[in-house]
Amino acid sequence: MNELVVAAVQMRSGVSPEANIAVMKDLVRDAASRGARYVQTPEMTGAVQRDRAGLQRILRPEGDDPVLNAASTLAGELGIYLHIGSTAIDAGGGMAANRAVVFGPDGSAMVRYDKIHMFDVDLDNGESWRESAVYRPGENARTVDLGGARLGLGICYDVRFPHLFRDLALAGADILTAPAAFTRQTGEAHWHVLQRARAIENGAFMISAAQGGVHEDGRETYGHSLIVNPWGRVIAEAEGDEPGVIVASLALDEVKAARAKIPNLKNARSFRIDNDTETARGAQVA
């Protein structure tokens, strides 16, 4: 496979999984009609719901989850790889998993990934988030073969942990992903630079579908879904935070070319940090 047409679906998910599924279906069908063989939806496709009791009411085990069941049917109907960027799944014990699932063209679930890094932060504008109070973090990174291109999975806050993406690239990933629901404040400051940095560091394509706009639960997300090439150039972007679809054709040979020009994956060396006080003081005086 030398070329792969891909799409990122930007959404503004509300609190109703049924309403979000209807929007997802329309946007995914739009992407497929434009030639996309791989389509990615954002983090929390099924519902953006910050109220814990409200989230608990809609949680289902994976086998009963309406978002994943709809995605399986849709992937098989359209004959595409459909990547649900994530949706909340009942993980037992009153906890949820922030889970991504990639479905194959036959509708089967090819790989599952639970978000590893929890967004536990306090922002300058007063926003405070504690994902670890609701979600059980994943423990395993995942890649999957898309019939000639290998995909590495991440979700949102994972993008701030470059070692995860480095390990995915070393495991053979040509395409890296971080579907997201970035807050507006952090998105305006860091979204583009983080996406481009992960692409450049690893000589890989980066595809990140995003949530955008003011949601029913009061949260505001940044939008600007992105597709970045291995040299760090943005080749497709959703302008603003409105729902929609972006499409790009990936020339997969660009991965090999970028890694040949700057072979940092090969050139990395192990090292240790010397915290010896006298050595540090001597160097400072010199």
Task: Report, as residue numbers or ranges, the catalytic residues.
Answer: 43, 115, 156
Nearest to 77 by CA among 47, 39, 113: 39
Cα separation of 85 and 40, whole Å? 6
221: which strand partners?
183, 213
Phi first, then psi: give them for residue 85, nearest 5 degrees: -55, -40
In residues, how long is the chain?
286
d(CA 100, CA 168) in angstroms, rounded, equals 16
Tally of CB atoms within 10 A around 256: 12
Please name the residue that has the structure tokens 């599924």. Answer: 21
| Spatial distance between the Cα atoms of 141 and 100, rounded to a whole number of angstroms | 11
How many angstroms separate the CA atoms of 72 and 11, rounded? 19
Place of tokens 């004959």: 79
Helical pair 66-78 and 17-33, crossing angle rounded to 10 deg: 20
Are the C-beta atoms of residues 137 and 130 closer than 8 Å to each other?
Answer: no
Tell me the C-alpha distance between 26 and 20, whole Å: 10
